[in-house]
Chains A and B, each alone.
Chain A
Amino acid sequence: MTDLSQATTPRPHRPLSRQAVMSKRRAQMRRITAETVRAALLLVIIVIFLFPVIWMALAAFQTQIDIISPGWGFTPTLRNFDRVFSEYNFLRYMGNSFLVAAVSTALSLLLGLPGAYAIARFHYDWLGVVLLAARIVPGITFLVPWYILFSRAGLNGTYVALILSHMIVSMPFIVWVMVPFFEGLPIEVEESARIDGATMLGTFVRIALPLSVPAIMTATIMSFIFSWNNFMFSLVLSGDDTRTLPVAIFNFITYASIDWGGLMAAAVLITLPVLVITVFMQRYVVSGLTAGAIKG
């Protein structure tokens, strides 16, 4: 009997007193309980955070009758997605959203990257402060003057107005992400390139930028997501032909009776690209969202 138990449990190097064994076991039990509690809490948290998204996706595959009926069951259908494209012209709005997000991000990078580099390397601190202030000013403060000026210039409802307005969010954000990163780059590499005869622009393009790819990825991804999700600027400045997805989906609920299935299918289609980006670029999204909060 004793031999059997010794065979299954590894023999301790030093024989432990009964008390020590008990306390060790108790500690182990406590650790297991703590782990279980943590796993349960995490499960609850995940359910809470995912529930609306899951509910939205489920409703997207239900007929209006299934959504309205008091029961829980339903037969999945793709009709909502079909209707979103055929009746509500969604492909066009998707194209608009993509165009505005891509161009405003590209232009913001074009302005923001050299700007951030100059703030970090040539100490244009005041510009950094001004761009920081842009994050504080409520967006709607810009919107009223723009609306007036864009109407005067005949630009209301054009892509130009949308792109420029979205840049006001992304350009300062790009600078906000890039300045600390450029500051953290070893200056010696750039100095030796300068000594070897590289121009200031050459050093920036050929040395600093390639070293900053991770930060540029963060800036680009977040800038694209901000533009894709932007509602208020697009609501005021877009026209019938240039309408972006968030405005298009908002117009759904102004109809007398809401087509819930179509609405949820549209919501899924808007959210899907962002979710895919987040899942595959998790690291960049996290560093973008927490940018500036840790240092500075």
Chain B
Amino acid sequence: MATHRTTQTRTSITHLRRRFQRLSFILPALIFVVVMMAFPVAYNGWLSFHEWTGSARRAPEYVGTDNYTELFTQSDRFFPAVKRTFLFTGVVVTAELVFGIGIALLLRDAFPGHTVVKTLILLPMVATPVAISMAWLLMLEPTIGVFNKILRDIGLTPQPWLGSQSQALWVLMAVDIWQWTPMMAMITLAGLLSLPEDPYEAALVDGASSLQSFFHITLPLLVPTLLTAVLLRSIEALKTFDIIYTMTRGGPGFSTETLNTLAYVRAFEYFRLGQAAALLVVFFAIVLGVSVIFIQMRRSVSMRQAL
């Protein structure tokens, strides 16, 4: 009886020790997540109900939901920024998806120089965004930029590009499309290469044209991969900051201001930390909402395909 009890204690001690050992693998990461991520998010929520300029002498002042009411009813920059954020995301992700699929199809079969091409198209997305923005700024410069130089040389009217309220956002979209189309292409290409061969052989036997087999075999099989790529890109596109802030700072006027740059300006140029926090809560909710929609779509598609 006694021996039985000791073995039992011993096993429960080994069990505990094993549990502790396992926990010790995730503990450092967990502490980091709690201190650096969970706490800031919670603090941000708390701050959104306060008014504060970040001054050490004046403590945050509780203002209830004022920051949110201000955002939704009084701010004339919030809804335009929401609209622009969605417009920007919708346009760039769609364009990147279409161009990305096209490029992936071109790169599908190996040819001499295949690897070189695949390496070269990686450059826009790995190059430092700020450096790239500077290069685009020079190219888009109205008087000395290469685009207007070309337009003048062929006898067309030079454009104001980033200097124009109606053009600036579209120019930024073009830069983003330039930067991130390769990402869509790479993901689509990886998806293409993992597709099974059998449906194509069957289609060949049935005498399907290459266009038919693209729309009836390739595209449907690729949908899960494409949805994931669109999800990843949409999350990033909603948060686009570097190229917008470095090239236009949200201007001219507020014509390129998105939720991310608006929040940045509120927090670090106006030091309205409470208002910025409220804006960030809404921004987070939007990104989360979009992500959930895509994840649900992805799930229902893979379930339908499994059936």
Contact = CB atoms under 8 A, between A and B. Distances in A.
Interface of A: 35, 38, 41-42, 45-46, 48-50, 52-53, 55-56, 59, 67-68, 70, 72, 110-112, 114-115, 117-119, 122, 124, 127, 130-131, 134-149, 151-152, 164, 167-168, 171, 175, 199-201, 204, 225, 228-229, 231-232, 236, 245-246, 249-250, 252-253, 260, 263-264, 266-268, 270-271, 274-275, 277-279, 282, 285-286, 289-290, 292-294, 296
B26 A118 contact: yes
B29 A114 contact: yes
A13 B134 CA distance: 64
A111 B264 CA distance: 29
Nearest to B114: A42
Given A38-B106, A134-B37, A148-B273, A249 B122 contact: no
B103 interface: yes
B95 interface: no
B103 A45 contact: yes
B4 interface: no
B120 to A, nearest CB: 6
B267 A167 contact: no
B149 interface: yes
Nearest to A273: B128
A293 B187 contact: yes
A249 B33 contact: no
A145 B225 CA distance: 36
Contact of B119 (A246, A249, A279): A279
A261 to B, nearest CB: 10
A104 to B, nearest CB: 12
Contacts of A53: 123-124, 127, 132, 135
B287 A127 contact: no
B232 interface: yes
B121 A286 contact: no
Contacts of B106: 38, 41-42, 45
B186 A289 contact: yes
Contact of B25 (A49, A117, A145, A149): A117
A118 B33 CA distance: 15
B287 A145 contact: no
B203 interface: no
A294 B283 contact: no
Interface stretch (B39-47, B73-81, B159-167): B39-47
Contacts of A245: 128
B216 interface: no
Max chain B C-beta neighbours (<10 A), residue from A52, A229, A260, A277: A52
A55 B135 contact: yes
Q: Closest 3 interchain pairs by CB?
A: A115-B29, A118-B25, A145-B40
A231 B241 contact: yes
Max chain B C-beta neighbours (<10 A), residue from A246, A270, A290: A290
A148 B54 contact: yes
Contacts of B301: none
A196 to B, nearest CB: 17
Contacts of B103: 45
Contacts of A268: 131
B128 A274 contact: yes
A249 B246 CA distance: 10
Given A145-B40, A147-B267, A267-B131, A138 B191 contact: no
Nearest to A142: B40
A9 to B, nearest CB: 26
Contacts of A168: 36-37
A229 B190 contact: no
A275 B33 contact: no
B29 A290 contact: no
Contacts of A270: 128, 130-131
A143 B44 CA distance: 10
Interface in B21-52: 21-22, 25-26, 28-30, 32-33, 36-41, 43-44, 47
Contacts of A110: 28
B117 A42 contact: yes
A84 to B, nearest CB: 12
